[in-house]
């Protein structure tokens, strides 16, 4: 059986974890957490990077740092993971869902202004499949209406938009290092703080609402509770597992891009079958987080998934639209008919793509998929 995903493993991670244990500091903000933070800052150019225990935690931090209050509104796509929305709903915000573009499957920037009201506080673009949203337009809209921008870059580690890294363009950016992501420590994430005036508050929120970070730097004699926050920092053993992968991030992404390109070349002829491949604008450089096909309809997709499974290959669909979910209806509203979101949710299927996927197994996946479509 060829799995849909297998977490990346370089083989050196265990030595770093052992070293973290030897250093006798395995709680948060130890040696390897600091190394990861520094590497992310160097890599992205962000003012501050802070590891978190998940991208969800990073998004929850961003909601607190955005000072979202009950009755405020935030704008995000419906075709996304639940915590893009729920992290802000936890603060009492109303979620306003906007449709996605038919090409990149990112938030449709032309529909954002229609969703803005006097209550709007934050725009949350999601970089789907590692292809960046149209950030120049989104940032211009945010500046015009005095709104904050929080990038959900869970899938975008290493992706570029006009030479700038995903997560480094908005007020804040949020990364995921879940086992399904290009670079992984099982469960983990990071928040990028792109404005220096938010750094101290971010440290406080991440450290349970205390000024503990300032205490450890010798800036205060004792630390105390100063603001709302929670425990958003991971164990240093988690950071130790992550660090060698961050060091080799370009190598990991390059291999994934090679596999992505092999898929894309092999499936070019499927356009005659009404099958659509991923799209990446010229100004963007994706990280090969995902390879998907868009089937003509739901029934065809279901048959494709079943056929691949019978042949020992796990392919999966993706998000159920949040605007039609029970909690989405309770805590949000949507603008327009959401036609693209609904169609993509019914027709998109993801193929196996991970660092350890062999070319031999990929050839079998391609051959099996083409065999299915030859009969359509």
- Give the residue from 310, 318, 299, 312 showing the smallest Cα distance to 376: 299
Q: What is the per-residue pLDDT across 269-310, written as a single tens digit (0 to 9) for each? A: 999 999 999 999 999 999 999 999 999 999 999 999 999 999
Average pLDDT estimate for 185-214: 91
Domain coverage including residue 279 = 249-374
Q: What is the pLDDT of residue 249?
A: 97
Q: Does residue 313 register a pLDDT over 90?
A: yes
Q: What is the per-residue pLDDT across 328-366, written as a single tens digit (0 to 9) for each? A: 999 999 999 999 999 999 999 999 999 999 999 999 999
Residue 127: pLDDT band by 50, 70, 90 thresholds?
A: very high
Q: Is residue 130 part of a domain?
A: yes
Q: Of 28-32, 112-116, 225-229, where does mean pLDDT reach its minimum?
A: 225-229
Average pLDDT estimate for 16-22: 96
Q: Does residue 221 register a pLDDT over 90?
A: no
Q: Is residue 199 part of a domain?
A: yes
Of 196, 229, 247, the position where a domain reaches its end is: 247
Residues 225 and 297 in one domain: no
Looking up residue 301, the CATH number of its domain turns out to be 3.90.1150.10
Residues 351 and 240 in one domain: no
Residue 211: pLDDT band by 50, 70, 90 thresholds?
A: confident
Residue 215: pLDDT band by 50, 70, 90 thresholds?
A: low
Residues 86 and 125 in one domain: yes
Dihedral pair phi/psi, residue 347, rounded to 5°:
-120, -15
Residues 85 and 206 in one domain: yes
Residues 169 and 208 in one domain: yes
Looking up residue 53, the CATH number of its domain turns out to be 3.40.640.10
Q: Please enumerate in sequence order all residues whose Cβ is within 8 A of that of 163, keeping only pairs 6 or more positions apart, or say none.
A: none
Of 228, 247, 266, the position where a domain reaches its end is: 247
Q: Taking the model in full, what pTM does it have?
A: 0.95
């Amino acid at each position: 059986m060829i799995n849909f995903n297998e977490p990346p493993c370089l083989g050196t991670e265990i030595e770093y974890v052992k070293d973290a244990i030897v250093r006798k500091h395995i709680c948060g903000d130890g040696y390897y957490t600091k190394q990861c933070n520094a590497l992310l800052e160097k890599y992205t150019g962000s003012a501050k990077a802070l590891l978190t225990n998940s991208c969800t935690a990073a998004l929850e931090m961003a909601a607190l740092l955005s000072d979202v209050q009950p009755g405020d509104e935030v704008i995000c796509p419906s075709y996304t993971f639940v915590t893009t929305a729920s992290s802000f709903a936890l603060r009492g915000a109303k979620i306003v869902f906007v449709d996605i573009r038919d090409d990149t499957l990112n938030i449709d920037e032309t529909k954002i202004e229609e969703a803005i009201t006097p209550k709007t506080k934050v725009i949350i673009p999601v970089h789907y499949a590692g292809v960046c949203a149209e950030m120049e337009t989104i940032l211009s809209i945010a500046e015009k209406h005095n709104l904050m921008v929080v990038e959900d870059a869970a899938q975008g580690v290493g992706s570029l938009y006009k030479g700038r890294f995903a997560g480094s363009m908005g007020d804040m950016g949020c990364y995921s290092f879940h086992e399904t992501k290009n670079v992984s420590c099982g469960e983990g994430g990071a928040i990028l703080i792109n404005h220096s005036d938010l750094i101290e508050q971010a440290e406080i929120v991440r450290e349970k609402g205390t000024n503990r970070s300032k205490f450890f730097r010798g800036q205060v004699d004792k630390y105390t509770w100063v603001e709302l926050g929670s425990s958003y920092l991971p164990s240093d053993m988690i950071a130790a597992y992550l660090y060698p992968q961050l060091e080799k991030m370009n190598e990991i992404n390059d291999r994934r891009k090679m596999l992505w390109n092999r898929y894309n070349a092999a499936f070019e002829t499927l356009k005659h079958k009404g099958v659509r491949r991923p799209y990446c604008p010229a100004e963007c450089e994706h990280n090969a987080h995902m390879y998907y096909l868009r089937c003509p309809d739901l029934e065809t997709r279901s048959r494709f998934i079943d056929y691949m499974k019978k042949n020992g290959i796990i392919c999966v669909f993706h998000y159920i639209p949040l605007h039609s979910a029970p909690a989405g209806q309770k805590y949000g509203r949507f603008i327009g008919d959401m036609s693209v979101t609904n169609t993509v949710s019914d027709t998109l299927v993801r193929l196996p793509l991970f660092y350890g996927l062999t070319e031999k197994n990929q050839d079998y996946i391609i051959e099996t998929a083409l065999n299915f479509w030859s009969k359509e």
